[in-house]
Amino acid sequence: MTPGLRSDALLVVEDDPDDLHFLTRAFRKTDSPVPMRVARNGQEAIDYLVTEGLRDRLLAVLLDLKLPVRSGFEVLSHIKTDPHLRATPVVILTSSAETLDLRQAYDLGANSYLVKPAGSQAMLELMSSVERYWLRHNWIA
Amino acid sequence: MLLRPRLSAWTAWTGGAALIVSLILTLIGVVVIAAELNTLHADRLNVLQREDNIQRLDVLQRDLRMAETGQRGFLLIGDRRYLKPYEDALDRVPKDLADLRRTRLAGAADLPRLQELVDAKLTELALTIRLHRTSPEAALAVVRSNVGQGYMDEIDAAAGVLLAHEQARLRADTLALDKLAGGAAVAVGVTAILALLSGGLGIILILRNRRLGDLEKLNATLEVRVSERTERLTEANRELDAFAYTISHDLRAPLRAIHGYAEVISEDGGEALSDDLRTDLQKIAAAATRMNRLIDDILAYSKISKETMSVRPVGLDSLIGRSLVQLEADCANTTVEVARPLGDVVAQPAALQQAIENLLSNACKYVAPDTSPKIRVRSERRGPQLRLWIEDNGIGVAPEHYERIFKPFERLHGVETYPGTGIGLAIVQRVMERMGGSCGVEPSAEGGSAFWIELPEAEAPP
């Protein structure tokens, strides 16, 4: 990595190994050049964001809501209240289709809300659209 | 829920006011009675005075007669012993007169005349007794001359006048006394009634206050009990919500894994997989999808019971349109005929749409394999209600199953033949119940089923 230049990255915050497996597999199939970082719980995500996250140029954060140690809502709130991180797009990827969760996520500043699909095919479709929409843009103005 | 036994402020106010008025009237009654008794006492003294006066006049006359009797005895027999009655009377008569002068005689004006006559009589008696010392015969002659008798007659007449005055006054005073006594009796009676009334009212007020106190105490404990139970129910509801949340999240994760891995193996297996194995893997994925749908339906069913239904006028035409768009995939080969305008009902739009979509989806689904599904949607006004019919040419429902099919998890066919979770119609029924409507099924003209839902018709279009 050239010093002074920040590399693009996608941060995935997911604790379920199976979901992570399908997600990684689907993301690989999109052939995106953007590297994928993984945090296994909310605290790990926040630790990453305040250290390496500042060096990476995060194109998006794929965030699960139900996470150990610190919840996805806490991570979301942390990102959206930090002046350096605020502009990072956060895509919620959760198994909850509850209206309350949806509302709370958008109240806290989420940029998108996706319900985890069942099946590898559906996951591939979802990751393709995430890649198209969030990772192909040049976020530097 | 709370007992509110509180008598109206107005009732309490009138009760208190009545007690106060009644007490004031009783007090006035007591004052009146006291005044009447005072007057009664004064009048009674007057009556006694009159009786005394009458008595005194009588005594005076008797004493004068005793004096005359003594004089005559002495004059006739000459023995001084016979003068004793005369001397005694002589002592008493001035006193009798003095008494009469002191009292307020009714005929006080006539008293001097009586005095004069009494003096004259006593003088006559004294003269004859003195004359007897010098000439008993002359004295006797005076007695016989009837001069003394003349005085006595005049005295009796004068006393009679005074007596008549006194008796007249006595009668008048007695009458007045009787009248006063009557008035006093009435006052006592009225006051007694008022006192009873005040007492009664007071007792009623005290009892009522005590009852109110008891009820307030009961209310307080009731409120505590109600709030305790509400808290327990809220806690139970929270647990149920948490349970539903857990179902929706934790149960779905392994399902996703099952589904995902079945597909991954199928995709990555390549040549190593036989066609049979590939079919089995597809069945695993299909089973996972089914279970996922079941979870969705259970959650939807429990949400209908939990969420409040805020109803408003809903246009059925546009709602049916939206539902058909939603069901485009499920009802691809179906001919749908909608008899517009369908009208407007009072409902919660999202819940109604869910119910209608379930019915339409069933109508597309439960059709014999060689039949192309046909659906007719129409409405019918039934009093204040509007009934929406969804008729199909499907396999129909036997009448003995009409009730059963609206219960959760009741299925008449195997999943292999007609897929489904068995909750769709239960959701329809629950939604209708929550919105104050109803639903049912009848055989359709085309041999299928005619499902209906009924809701209050909206007065004006939304």
- Look at B224-228, B377-381, B458-462 and tell me which has the smallest mean pLDDT: B458-462
Q: What is the pLDDT confidence band of residue A58, given thresholds at 50, 70 and 90?
A: confident
Of B252, B255, B260, the CB nearest to A120: B260
Question: B461 pLDDT exceeds 60?
Answer: no
Of A95, A120, A123, the CB nearest to B249: A95
Is the separation of the CB atoms in A29 and A120 below 8 Å? no
Shortest distance, CA A120 to any CA of chain B (angstroms) = 5
CB contact under 8 A, B260 and A98: no
CB contact under 8 A, A98 and B248: yes
CB contact under 8 A, A121 and B263: yes
DSSP of B245-309? HHIIIIIHHHHHHHHHHHHHHHHH-GGGS-HHHHHHHHHHHHHHHHHHHHHHHHHHHHHHHHS--
Of B249, B255, B263, the CB nearest to A96: B249
Q: What is the pLDDT of residue A3?
A: 47
CB contact under 8 A, B245 and A121: no
How many cross-chain Cβ pairs, A to B, lie less than 8 Å apart? 51
Search chain A and give the residue with CA nearest B281. Answer: A119
pLDDT digits (tens, 9 = 90+) for B49-106: 888 888 888 888 888 888 888 888 888 788 888 888 888 888 888 888 888 888 878 7
Q: How far apart are CA B283 and CA B280, in angstroms?
A: 5
Search chain B and give the residue with CA nearest A100. Answer: B245
Q: What is the pLDDT of residue A2?
A: 42
Question: A1 pLDDT exceeds 50?
Answer: no
Shortest distance, CA A94 to any CA of chain B (angstroms) = 9
Of B249, B259, B267, the CB nearest to A118: B259
CB contact under 8 A, A118 and B256: yes
Is the separation of the CB atoms in B339 and B307 below 8 Å? no
- B/e letters for A71-101, b = 16+ CB within 10 Å, e = fewer, are bbbbbbbbbbeeeebeebbbbbbbbbebeeb
Is the separation of the CB atoms in B320 and B343 below 8 Å? no
Q: What is the pLDDT of residue A5?
A: 58
pLDDT digits (tens, 9 = 90+) for B388-405: 999 999 998 888 888 888
* Mean pLDDT value of segment B159-170: 88
Q: How far apart are CA B187 and CA B28, in angstroms?
A: 10
- DSSP letter, residue B391: E
Chain B (292-331) residues lying within 8 Å, Cβ to Cβ, of chain A: 292
Of B248, B261, B267, the CB nearest to A95: B248
Residue from B263, B295, B298 to probe the interface with A (highest A Cβ count within 10 Å) = B263
pLDDT digits (tens, 9 = 90+) for B168-179: 888 888 888 888
Q: What is the pLDDT of residue A53?
A: 72
Q: What is the pLDDT of residue B442?
A: 93
CB contact under 8 A, A121 and B264: no
Chain A (69-128) residues lying within 8 Å, Cβ to Cβ, of chain B: 95-98, 116-121, 123
pLDDT digits (tens, 9 = 90+) for A104-124: 999 999 999 999 998 888 999
Question: B299 pLDDT exceeds 70?
Answer: yes
pLDDT digits (tens, 9 = 90+) for B424-452: 899 999 999 999 999 999 998 888 999 99
CB contact under 8 A, B253 and A121: no
B289 part of contact set with chain A, CB < 8 Å:
yes
Q: How far apart are CA B120 and CA B128, in angstroms?
A: 12
Search chain B and give the residue with CA nearest A96. Answer: B249
Of B249, B255, B264, the CB nearest to A120: B264
Q: H-type helices in B135-146, by residue range?
A: 136-144
pLDDT digits (tens, 9 = 90+) for A18-46: 999 999 999 999 999 999 999 999 999 99
Q: How far apart are CA B198 and CA B176, in angstroms?
A: 32
Shortest distance, CA A19 to any CA of chain B (angstroms) = 7
User: Residue A58 is inside which H or E element, if any?
Assistant: strand A57-63
B391 or B253, which is more confident? B391
B253 part of contact set with chain A, CB < 8 Å:
yes
Search chain A and give the residue with CA nearest B288. Answer: A118
Q: What is the pLDDT of residue A130?
A: 92
Search chain A and give the residue with CA nearest B258. Answer: A119
Q: Which of B351, B377, B353 is nearest to B364 (CA)?
A: B377
CB contact under 8 A, B260 and A18: yes
Task: Give me the phi and psi of B279, to 5 degrees please.
Answer: -60, -45
Q: What is the 3-state secondary structure (H, E, C) of A84-131?
A: CCCCCCEEEEECCCCHHHHHHHHHCCCCEEEECCCCHHHHHHHHHHHH
Q: What is the pLDDT of residue B9?
A: 65
Using an 8 Å CB-CB cutoff, list chain B residues near A18: 253-254, 256-257, 260-261
CB contact under 8 A, A18 and B253: yes
Search chain B and give the residue with CA nearest A22. Answer: B260
Search chain A and give the residue with CA nearest B286. Answer: A119
Q: What is the pLDDT confidence band of residue B1, given thresholds at 50, 70 and 90?
A: very low
Shortest distance, CA A107 to any CA of chain B (angstroms) = 20
- Look at A132-141, B52-61, B151-160, B443-452 and tell me which has the smallest mean pLDDT: A132-141
CB contact under 8 A, B264 and A66: no
User: Residue B316 is inside which H or E element, if any?
Assistant: helix B316-326
- From the CA atom positions of chain A, what is the Rg in Å? 14
Q: How far apart are CA A118 and CA A2, in angstroms?
A: 40
Q: Structure tokens of B80? A: 């001084």
Shortest distance, CA B294 to any CA of chain A (angstroms) = 14
Residue from A95, A126, A127 to probe the interface with B (highest B Cβ count within 10 Å) = A95
Is the peptide bond prior to A83 cis by the omega test (within 30 degrees of 0)?
Answer: no
B153 or B420, which is more confident? B153
